Amino acid sequence: MQNINRPQRLSLFETDLRAMIDERSFPCLGAKSVLARHTLDVIGARDITSGWNDLQIIDALVRWSRCYRDDPSGLCSLAVIFDLPVDLEEAGFEKAMWERLQSIADKDAWLGQSFDDRVSSNPEDPHFSLSFGGEAYFVVGLHPKASRPARRFERPALVFNLHDQFERLRAEGRYERMRERIMQRDEALAGTMNPMLARHGDASAARQFSGRAVGEDWNCPFKDPRA
């Protein structure tokens, strides 16, 4: 899949993100595959607590979805790195992340983009995913004060991953083996198993987006306007 034209200046921290993924101990093999295939695209934004760049982000996601449909081979990710703030604790980052995702989803609906009906719009549903540009996504949040080392990055960032590409891995019989290896590598890096990891279809992936460990009483502060 070809990289999209970047709607926002390249983040000064793109090199650092690529270096983090490339580190030998970094656990996510999917991210390493994306890096090796040169299918990680990175755009910069001002502040994760502000809607300043939301229109540029949804524009990038709509075009990213279109590019994927034109060439759905292999793994690819779109990362948005925010300059600020760098002092959010985990709960504060989670709140800002869902505010951005809500705002971007609202704009996706406003643009007339359809919801990907292969997934659920209900954050409590085990088959929940976000939908931008007609394609389902799950999000990996990164920030400086993340408790899990694999989620710790010098600036707040949201990495958008297409749901369909992992369904393809599952259909090819490759998903479970990759998942087990990632969990083992993450435990080796952090010293403990990640309590939030679950198979798609077992629990809502919304609980995993921010990287913060949440309890059974946690409620996702998101509602897709097309629900």
Q: Which residues of 69-107 are buried (b: 16+ CB within 10 A; e: fewer)?
A: eeeeeebbbbbbbbeebeebebebbbbbbbbbbbbbbbb
- d(CA 64, CA 77) in angstroms, rounded, equals 9
pLDDT at residue 8, as a whole number: 46
- Helix or strand holding residue 44 (H, E): strand 40-47
Higher pLDDT, residue 9 or 175? 175
In a domain, 8, yes or no: no
In a domain, 204, yes or no: yes
In a domain, 127, yes or no: yes
In a domain, 6, yes or no: no
pLDDT at residue 196, as a whole number: 81
pLDDT at residue 198, as a whole number: 55
Average pLDDT, the chain: 91
Torsion angles phi and psi, residue 212, rounded to 5: -80, 140
Mean local confidence (pLDDT), 150-166: 95
In a domain, 3, yes or no: no
Residue count of the chain:
227
In a domain, 18, yes or no: yes
Phi-psi region of 134 (alpha: psi -120 to 50; beta: other; left: phi over 0): left
pLDDT at residue 75, as a whole number: 85
pLDDT at residue 22, as a whole number: 96
pLDDT at residue 11, as a whole number: 54
pLDDT at residue 10, as a whole number: 52
Mean local confidence (pLDDT), 192-204: 73
pLDDT at residue 226, as a whole number: 94
Give pLDDT tens digits for 40-54: 999 999 999 999 999
Alpha carbon 226 to chain centroid distance?
A: 20
Q: Which of 9-13, 36-40, 172-176 has the lowest mean pLDDT?
A: 9-13
pLDDT at residue 122, as a whole number: 97
In a domain, 214, yes or no: no
Asked if the model's pLDDT at residue 159 lies above 60, the reply is yes
User: What residue numbers bound the domain in which 93 lies?
Assistant: 14-208
pLDDT at residue 71, as a whole number: 86
Residues 6+ apart with CB under 8 A from 75: 30, 33, 34, 37, 39, 165
Q: Which amino acid is at 182?
A: I
pLDDT at residue 7, as a whole number: 44
Give pLDDT tens digits for 86-110: 999 999 999 999 999 999 999 999 9
User: What domain count does the chain have?
Assistant: 1
pLDDT at residue 214, as a whole number: 92
In a domain, 213, yes or no: no
Asked if the model's pLDDT at residue 193 lies above 60, the reply is yes
